[in-house]
Amino acid sequence: MNYRHAFHAGNFADVFKHVLLRELVRAMQRKPKPFLLLDTHAGRGRYDLARADGGGRAPEWPEGIGRLWGANDLPPALADYVAAVRAFNRAAGAEDDTLRFYPGSPLLALPLLRPEDRCAFCELQPEEAEALERECAFARKCRVHRSDGYGAPRAMLPPLEKRALVLIDPPFEAADEMKRVAVAVEEGLRRSPAAVFAVWYPISGRASTAPLFLPVRERRLAPTLVAELRVQGEAAEVGLGGCGLAILNPPWQFAAEARPVLQALVRLLALDDGAACRLDWLVAESS
Ligand SMILES: C[S@@+](CC[C@H](N)C(=O)[O-])C[C@H]1O[C@@H](n2cnc3c(N)ncnc32)[C@H](O)[C@@H]1O
């Protein structure tokens, strides 16, 4: 396991994932009943952008959060996300308003949780898990598990709260990771049929979506919305040109809320004319 998220922290894919994650948390909170937030591949929680070692490659955050940092007139969801990163950066010790510390998914979601909500973060790399434990040491109703995130839906669902939002954000290093995602999602849905699952995936040869999308569509496992963002056209693609989030059991009205957010992200994060977004139902809500 060689993956180091530090190099990618704050890139366009993180912006896309983290903005939608915060919107999902808020959508869950439209109902007063508490829920469990389960982040199966949580990372270390805090990334020092000044130390992101890209092995000689340019850092990725300037074309991600860097594009939003000084932008005016952002739509509310993006302004809210930038304000959260700004607050984190300051609290983490940045000397002025210069961006240096970027929060990962656990620390972007945690401040939104209500006292009655609960969170569980899984991270397999000991160093990353230890760092996340330090970040979460004083958080209430929050536990870091040094365990395999793919086993977490089976182990932790259904939650006491009976409602759950599960983020699955693997590194996609191994060839079979999407297959493992599909098994974890199916096990989770069997135990908690109404749980919301958000699965991040790269749009690249690295991970075909077929092992997840085929069973979801063919066996209509749950209403499923697919949101995708491409920052460059396929012909120009060097490295990661796009990514997506498959959302099973999306909260009510989430599609309508996500559309303008995706359109704004295309405008802000485009690297060339091929930039585009997509929001489609893989399995329609009414079926
Ligand atoms: C893409 S990063 C996560 C980023 C994080 N979700 C965020 O948005 O800030 C993937 C993380 O999964 C961890 N990891 C890899 N395999 C894992 C597994 N089987 N279970 C739990 N964590 C794993 C890696 O160490 C890495 O920190």
Residue 172 Cβ < 6 Å to ligand 1: no
**Which atom of ligand 1 is the closest one to the Cα of 9?**
9
Helix axes 12-28, 76-91, angle to 10 degrees: 110
Pairing status of strand 242-248 against strand 196-202:
antiparallel
Instruction: State the Cα–Cα distance between residues 221 and 212, nearest whole angstrom.
Output: 11
The more confident residue out of 3 and 240 is: 240
State the pLDDT at residue 286.
74
Active site residue 273: no
43 pLDDT above the threshold of 90: yes
156 pLDDT above the threshold of 80: yes
Residue 5 Cβ < 6 Å to ligand 1: yes
Q: Which residue in 106, 115, 126, 7 sits closest to 55, CA to CA?
A: 7
Band (pLDDT 50/70/90 cuts) for residue 56 is: confident
For residues 149-173, average pLDDT: 97
Buried b (16+ CB within 10 A) or exposed e, 115-130: eebbbbbbbbbeebbe
Q: Which of 14, 39, 117, 169 is catalytic?
A: 169
Residue 122 Cβ < 6 Å to ligand 1: yes
Give residue-wise pLDDT tens across range 196-234.
999 999 998 777 999 999 999 999 999 999 999 999 987
Pocket test for ligand 1, best of 21, 124, 243 (most atoms within 8 A of CB): 124
Give residue-wise pLDDT tens across range 62-94.
999 999 999 999 999 999 999 999 999 999 999
Residue 123 Cβ < 6 Å to ligand 1: yes
Residue 135 Cβ < 6 Å to ligand 1: no
- Asked if residue 118 lies in contact with residue 157, where contact means CB atoms within 8 angstroms, the answer is no
**Which atom of ligand 1 is the closest one to the Cα of 106?**
9
Pocket test for ligand 1, best of 21, 41, 88, 180 (most atoms within 8 A of CB): 41
**Which atom of ligand 1 is the closest one to the Cα of 104?**
9
Give residue-wise pLDDT tens across range 95-129.
888 999 999 999 999 999 999 999 999 999 999 99
For residues 37-62, average pLDDT: 89
Is 141 in a helix, a strand, or coil? coil
Residue 42 Cβ < 6 Å to ligand 1: yes
Give residue-wise pLDDT tens across range 245-255.
999 999 999 99
- The CATH-assigned architecture of domain 5-283 is 3-Layer(aba) Sandwich (3.40)
